Structure 1
């Protein structure tokens, strides 16, 4: 039997070998998922290189400071203001403030009914009573669509299901101004999915696991979270990956300028839209089960036009909206002044309209949304600055976030996030329960890093006793409450 001292000595020599040659991982994509994966692996003493195609970190999390205040042109909410949210420890630790825009029971998920000022095409404000009544009717219609789903084996679009409900229950139909308000509610729902109601899956529209605690706007923007996670990592900006080769248990990654990186594994966190476009070549090609998962997942589009004004001339509500005979023609502005104190309105466009608005120049797009604003508020001033996101045509995103298309296979998300040997996949689209959210992307990155760490540790003979993962590091922090306001 070996003496105890020898066994311990052998163990320490194993640790020394680990220090000499720790496993290496390339993380592709510097959004929150990629940064979370790189952070977790770096904390576990792996050699990590993160390659990001843009000249900035964050991906579809993009806080712009050109207005003199933080404006999130991509993700801006924490969906689920509660301790169960995987980002809560980090947000608490950084002391970031949240502005709660809804409780748990909001029909439109991220805003409560009383926070709207809606206007008709004639410029007159719709009564709050009518807004609330139509909102409650919309909730009843959506509940009835669940019965339609239970009766049909095959999937259909949510629009088709709503049509069936209205045929069965004529008393739920709306006329005149009420009908236009209903279209506005549908427009808001399309914004949640970043897709049109005729493409949203009846089978899956309400299956997302929405955390409790309502929804909070990140008052200081999301960039402080990105910055904290990225600190000290080996990050290469302006490195657009062109090719990924798997050979002899190694991964060879080539970027557009021809530079090559070699590692034991890679974690791919590029947006789903980029994977769909086949801009990254794989050798050997990805297996059919993976290719079909990428193909079958939908990508939605949502854009923002942020407008900064010299003075505040609008009502003190969270959302200003225009109603119309179709959801496509409806519009709405988020009032950042109420949440942050800055004189900024953000126009939101989703689905087909989000793609159509990208066909316009910045000036044309601003003129279009200002025309909508002046229908509501004829004396609206000209903006002194503006910003326009173009997520649908941005080659580094090609869409905003994933969505469930009609008739998708049940195992789609599982196949999308499953590894292919030493290639791991992460990102919001790889989150089974929280796709389309920042915390879903973050958790997905941590999960992929943990899978990768476990496999490489096994191959390299590294004991779990000497691993430090992000989750363990976070669990030692002092619990401080989330900072939430509601003005």
Structure 2
């Protein structure tokens, strides 16, 4: 019986493999479809460059623009249309050939001819929203064919810059014996000069959302000082750890 091929085993091979697969798909190659990801259609159609949105307005500018196409806004661009309901947690969607009724957590009820559900895959896989009648089996099967992976981008601010910068140095990798352990780093000097901020991306790390930020910061500082042993690395002054996986509104 032929033995199965071994995966990457050295720290360098593992972090390169992690950058190629986990960083893109938030899951390791063993659960990623080779047929559907190599080559990745997005890379084939648009190239494999990574882009960063540096617009100070953030993605909300896109949302406001789209909303302004059909919702009433004031001169400042703020949405003032009474039809826009925010901070409403949908709990039940009842639908039939005659229309749709949506009930929220505060017992409000909304009726419409049609409803577009844009909840995350994690919410659809949870019991947060009850569909009446239950969704057809083919749709439930499609929903559960994918995982709601954990993809966490941690921002760390320092009092000064100690890492290399310039052409081809936006990303740098940390080769650990533990696959994916704070491995993918990114600096923002080009987008935000003198911000002194590093971004580290981790995947499949539920534990990070459950532990104190102080512990995460300590782990990160150990890694950073290991990457730059010849530099005077100061303690980070701030850290931002998103917790999408434990947020019921996203159900990561």
**TM bucket, shorter chain:** 0.7 to 0.9
Point out which structure has higher relative CO (alpha carbons under 8 A, 6+ apart).
Answer: 1
**Counterpart check, 1:229 vs 2:66:** yes
- Aligned CA distance change for structure 1 residues 223 and 207 (closer, same or farther; 3 Å): same
State the partner residue of 2:135. Answer: 286
> For residues 158 and 66 of structure 2, what CA distance do their matches in structure 1 show?
33
> For residues 392 and 329 of structure 1, what CA distance do their matches in structure 2 show?
18
> For residues 247 and 40 of structure 2, what CA distance do their matches in structure 1 show?
27
**Counterpart check, 1:219 vs 2:54:** yes
C-alpha contact (below 8 Å) 1:337/1:345 kept by paired residues: no
**Counterpart check, 1:340 vs 2:192:** yes
State the partner residue of 1:200. Answer: 32
State the partner residue of 1:239. Answer: 88
Q: Secondary structure, in 3 states, of the residue corresponding to 1:217?
A: coil
Q: Secondary structure, in 3 states, of the residue corresponding to 2:35?
A: coil
- Aligned CA distance change for structure 1 residues 358 and 336 (closer, same or farther; 3 Å): same
Alpha-carbon displacement from aligned partner over 1:25-72 (angstroms, at most 9, x marks no partner): xxxxxxxxxxxxxxxxxxxxxxxxxxxxxxxxxxxxxxxxxxxxxxxx
C-alpha contact (below 8 Å) 2:150/2:203 kept by paired residues: yes
C-alpha contact (below 8 Å) 1:186/1:327 kept by paired residues: no
- Aligned CA distance change for structure 1 residues 299 and 346 (closer, same or farther; 3 Å): same
C-alpha contact (below 8 Å) 2:99/2:113 kept by paired residues: yes
C-alpha contact (below 8 Å) 1:253/1:260 kept by paired residues: yes
Give the one of 322, 327, 330 matched to 2:174.
322
Task: Give 5+ residue unaligned stretches, structure 1.
Answer: 1-160, 167-172, 400-487
Q: How does 1:476-487 map to 2 (within 5 A)?
A: none
Q: How does 1:428-447 map to 2 (within 5 A)?
A: none
Give the C-alpha shift of residue 338 in structure 1: 3.3
**Counterpart check, 1:309 vs 2:158:** yes
Q: How does 1:77-92 map to 2 (within 5 A)?
A: none
TM-score normalised to structure 2 length: 0.81
State the partner residue of 2:80. Answer: none
Which structure shows the bigger proportion of residues in helix conformation?
Answer: 1
State the partner residue of 2:15. Answer: 184
Alpha-carbon displacement from aligned partner over 1:397-422 (angstroms, at most 9, x marks no partner): 122xxxxxxxxxxxxxxxxxxxxxxx
Alpha-carbon displacement from aligned partner over 1:346-381 (angstroms, at most 9, x marks no partner): 111012xx2222221122112211221111124222
Give the C-alpha shift of residue 248 in structure 1: 4.8
State the partner residue of 1:262. Answer: 111
> For residues 29 and 207 of structure 2, what CA distance do their matches in structure 1 show?
16
> For residues 65 and 11 of structure 2, what CA distance do their matches in structure 1 show?
45
TM-score normalised to structure 1 length: 0.44
State the partner residue of 2:233. Answer: 380
> For residues 385 and 325 of structure 1, what CA distance do their matches in structure 2 show?
27
Give the C-alpha shift of residue 207 in structure 1: 5.4
Q: Secondary structure, in 3 states, of the residue corresponding to 1:310?
A: coil
Alpha-carbon displacement from aligned partner over 1:160-211 (angstroms, at most 9, x marks no partner): x9x53x5xxxxxx978xxx221100122121210112222122322254213
- Aligned CA distance change for structure 1 residues 360 and 291 (closer, same or farther; 3 Å): same
Give the C-alpha shift of residue 227 in structure 1: 2.9
Give the C-alpha shift of residue 219 in structure 1: 1.2
Give the C-alpha shift of residue 330 in structure 1: 5.4
Q: Secondary structure, in 3 states, of the residue corresponding to 1:307?
A: strand
